[in-house]
Structures are given as C-alpha cells and as structure tokens.
C-alpha cells in the first residue's frame, strides 16, 4: 500500500520516545535521544508493507541504541530525489570497522563481541531488514567510522502521489 512516509516515520519514532520516557528495560542504561531532521508535515508517499517496514526501522534503531553504549543522539533524516525517498538513521556510537562492513548484512554475523556489545543479539536483524527493503525494490547501505558512529541509508522508490493512497495514522 502507498503510505504517507513522514507520518509513518513519526509514528515509529513516537513509540521509541514513549519507550524512552517509560525507561523500557530493553534500553535501560542507554541515554539516547531521537532527533527528527525532516519536515514532519510534508506528505511523501512510499509503497511499503507498514508492518514489515516498521520491523526494519525497529531493527536499525534498536541497533543504533544498543551499539551506542554512551548514548547520544539518533538522527533520522528523510530526503527526496525525483524517484526515491532516502531514509537515514545515524548514531554516534561504536562504529563498525571497515573490514566488517561487508559482513553485517550476512545472517548470524556479529562484529567482535569484546567491544561493549553485551546485548545478546542473534545477528539476523540486518539480514532480514535488507531482504525486506529489497523486496520493496529498495536498497540499504551503511557508512561507518569506528568510535565516531554509523549511518544506515534506506532508499525506497517514491510513489506517484496522484495514484490512490492511504494516510497512515
């Protein structure tokens, strides 16, 4: 279905803001703040399965929080080109070594557990996320610098706004 993407992203981020306020156990001792670097009112439409894409966002944002042991801002951007929507999720955490960057989308792959990566994940989150994004004819890529932070970019095809559409609430 065609979804009002900025509204949808707001909805996903609102849930994280609530979890943070309530001191959710999953992210206890992580002092993060989510910053929205996009026009929250602007309607841009993307063709997504909102349940599945919500899982993708949850995975990437949970990673951003988990792998930022000292906390910091998680910055969310939405950019538009003629054909695409680019969602970015940027953290200021541990970062990923260059030689590992190609592997993180591989099933069960986890970067060296010695670097404060105490949370016991399975290493499936990004592999599944990438599959979901590619099934939507999108692309997923990462840029990272160790001890500076990581940014994930998810590119989705934009939907012609004159076609039939639904607003996400």
Q: Return the number of other C-beta atoms located less than 10 Å from residue 79's C-beta.
A: 14
Instruction: Supply the minimum distance, in Å, between the C-beta of residue 165 and ligand ATP.
Output: 31
Instruction: Supply the minimum distance, in Å, between the C-beta of residue 130 and ligand ATP.
Output: 9
Rg (CA), the chain: 16
Applying CB under 6 A, which residues contact ligand ATP? 59, 63-64, 67, 91, 93-96, 104, 109-111, 117, 121-127, 150
Decide: helix, strand or coil at residue 74: strand
Instruction: Supply the minimum distance, in Å, between the C-beta of residue 59 and Mg ion.
Output: 5
H or E segment to which residue 78 belongs:
strand 72-80
Residue nearest to ligand ATP (CB): 121
Residue 4 as a binder of Mg ion (CB under 5 A): the answer is: no
Residue 93 as a binder of Mg ion (CB under 5 A): the answer is: no
C-alpha pair distances (Å), 63 with each of 56, 103, 106, 144 = 11, 15, 15, 13
Residue nearest to Mg ion (CB): 125
Whether the Cβ atoms of residue 122 and residue 108 lie closer than 8 Å to each other: yes
Residue 155 as a binder of Mg ion (CB under 5 A): the answer is: no
Whether the Cβ atoms of residue 157 and residue 84 lie closer than 8 Å to each other: yes
Q: Which CB, 80 or 124, lies closer to ligand ATP?
A: 124
Q: Which CB, 3 or 64, lies closer to Mg ion?
A: 64
Residue 63 as a binder of Mg ion (CB under 5 A): the answer is: yes
């Amino acid at each position: 279905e065609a979804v009002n993407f900025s509204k949808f992203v707001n909805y996903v981020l609102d849930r994280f803001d609530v979890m943070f306020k309530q001191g959710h156990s999953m992210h206890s001792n992580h002092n993060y703040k989510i910053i929205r670097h996009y026009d929250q009112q602007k309607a841009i439409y993307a063709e997504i399965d909102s349940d599945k894409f919500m899982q993708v966002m949850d995975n990437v944002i949970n990673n951003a929080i988990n792998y930022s042991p000292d906390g910091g801002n998680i910055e969310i951007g939405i950019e538009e080109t003629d054909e695409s929507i680019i969602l970015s999720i940027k953290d200021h955490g541990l970062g990923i070594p260059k030689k590992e960057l190609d592997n993180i989308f591989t099933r069960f792959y986890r970067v060296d557990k010695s670097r404060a990566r105490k949370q016991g994940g399975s290493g499936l989150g990004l592999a599944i996320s990438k599959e979901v994004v590619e099934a939507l004819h999108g692309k997923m890529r990462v840029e990272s610098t160790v001890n500076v932070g990581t940014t994930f970019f998810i590119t989705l095809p934009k939907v012609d706004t004159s076609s039939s559409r639904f607003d996400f609430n």
